[in-house]
Homo-oligomer: A and B are copies of this chain.
Amino acid sequence: MPYVNIRIAGSLSREQKKQIAQEITDTLERIAHKPKSYTYIAFDEMPHENWAIAGTLLGEED
């Protein structure tokens, strides 16, 4: 541990995932004192229609 799960609607580029993973791993080392090698990060890129806010699927309002 730590285990971090990031769930978003839509997709991220490999470069975006790379940068996000670096920054979050750094944040957890600097603030929570967790060695970098311990941090696992898992990204879930989900279809927009599989995500609802306020009872409305994303994109539904269009």
Known interface pairs A39-B54, A39-B55, A50-B44. Does A34 touch B17 (Cβ–Cβ under 8 Å)?
A: no
Tally of contact residues, A, Cβ under 8 A:
49
Given A24-B24, A41-B52, are A34 and B57 neighbors across the interface (CB < 8 Å)? no
Choose among B6, B22, B26 the residue that contacts A4 (Cβ–Cβ < 8 A). Answer: B6
CA distance A31 to B54 in the complex (A): 15
| Complex A-B, nearest 6 residue pairs according to Cβ-Cβ distance, in ascending order | A25-B55, A21-B52, A41-B52, A43-B50, A23-B27, A2-B8
Which residues of A come within 8 Å of B, CB atoms?
A: 1-9, 12, 14, 16-28, 31-32, 34, 36-46, 49-58, 60
